[in-house]
């Protein structure tokens, strides 16, 4: 198991962790239905699954 030779300072540790934060999901509006959904995700509208404005599957 690896052991650090010297203690990592709080400043250095916190600098590394600056990018580890929660972000809000990106939303977009569907071209066909006008529904708001997460980008790059398929979404259900009235029993029909849409992806990139096209019908993928029907319930």
Q: What is the pLDDT of residue 43?
A: 94
> Domain segments of the chain: what residues?
25-59
If DSSP states are collapsed to H, E and C, what string results for 35-46? CEEECCCCEEEC
Per residue in 10-59, pLDDT (tens digit) is: 999 999 999 888 889 999 999 899 999 999 999 999 999 999 989 999 98
Cα dihedral sign, 39-41-46-48: positive
Per residue in 21-33, pLDDT (tens digit) is: 888 999 999 989 9
Instruction: Return the structure tokens found at 16.
Output: 């590394």
Count CB atoms within 10 A of the CB of residue 50.
19
């Amino acid at each position: 198991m690896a052991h650090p030779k010297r203690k990592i300072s709080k400043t250095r540790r916190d600098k590394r962790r600056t990018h580890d934060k929660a972000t809000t999901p990106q939303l977009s509006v569907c071209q066909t239905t006008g529904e708001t959904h997460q980008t790059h995700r398929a979404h259900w509208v009235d029993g029909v699954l849409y992806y990139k404005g096209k019908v993928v599957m029907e319930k």
